[in-house]
Amino acid sequence: MQSEKRKGLVPIPRSLEEWLNLDQKAMLSTIESYGWELKFIRRTGQEESTVIVVNPQGNQVGVLERDGQLNLESGVTLR
79 residues of the chain, pLDDT tens digit each? 455 555 665 655 667 777 899 999 999 999 999 999 999 888 776 667 889 999 999 899 999 999 999 999 987 777 6
Residue 79 lies in a domain: no
Residue 42 lies in a domain: yes
Asked if 74 and 53 touch (Cβ cutoff 8 Å), the reply is no
Please state, in angstroms and rounded to a whole number, the distance separating the CA atoms of residues 30 and 27.
5
Calculate Rg over the CA atoms of the chain: 14
Q: How far apart are the first and last CA of the chain?
A: 27
Residue 56 lies in a domain: yes
Residue 5 lies in a domain: no
Closest CA relative to residue 63, chosen from 28, 35, 30, 33: 28
Based on the structure, what is the number of domains in the chain? 1
Residue 38 lies in a domain: yes
Residue 76 lies in a domain: no
What pLDDT score does 1 carry? Answer: 46
Residue 9 lies in a domain: no
For residue 38, the enclosing domain spans 16-71
